């Protein structure tokens, strides 16, 4: 399993909420159809959130990233976006 964690910081509460709604309604359904296995979102505060995206492997993660590259670049003009990714080492339940 391969994990991508994205930290999003918006200028305002409204902009963050609009972006999170976009992820839920448009972005994630498309990604899930293309091979993303899971998506989790949690708010840190009124203007920041983390997205945790799970993939079968790095190849699948890279495919989704390339598919969304233009959208990501456009979002970076209004949102602060930091991304971390790598293979899952272990999961404890």
Q: Which pLDDT score, from 0 to 100, does residue 74 have?
A: 78
Whether the pLDDT of residue 76 is over 80: the answer is no
pLDDT tens for residues 29-75? 999 999 999 999 999 999 999 999 999 999 999 999 988 878 777 77
Distance CA 19, CA 1 (A): 26
For the domain with range 2-87, which CATH number is right: 3.30.70.100, 2.30.40.10, 1.10.10.10, 3.90.1150.10?
A: 3.30.70.100
Distance CA 35, CA 68 (A): 13
Show me where the domains of the chain are located. Answer: 2-87
What φ, ψ does residue 73 adopt, rounded to 5°? -65, -40
Q: Which pLDDT score, from 0 to 100, does residue 43 have?
A: 97
Q: Which pLDDT score, from 0 to 100, does residue 73 have?
A: 76
Q: Name the pLDDT band for 15 (thresholds 50, 70, 90).
A: very high
Q: Which pLDDT score, from 0 to 100, does residue 21 have?
A: 94
């Amino acid at each position: 399993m391969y994990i991508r964690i994205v930290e999003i910081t918006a200028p305002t509460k409204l902009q963050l909420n609009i972006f999170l709604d976009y992820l839920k309604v448009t972005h994630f359904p498309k990604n899930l159809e293309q091979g993303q296995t899971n998506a989790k979102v949690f708010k840190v505060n009124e203007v920041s959130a983390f997205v945790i995206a799970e993939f079968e492997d790095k190849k699948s993660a890279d495919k989704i990233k390339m598919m969304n590259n233009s959208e990501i670049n456009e979002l970076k003009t209004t949102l602060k976006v930091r991304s971390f990714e790598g293979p899952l080492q272990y999961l404890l339940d």
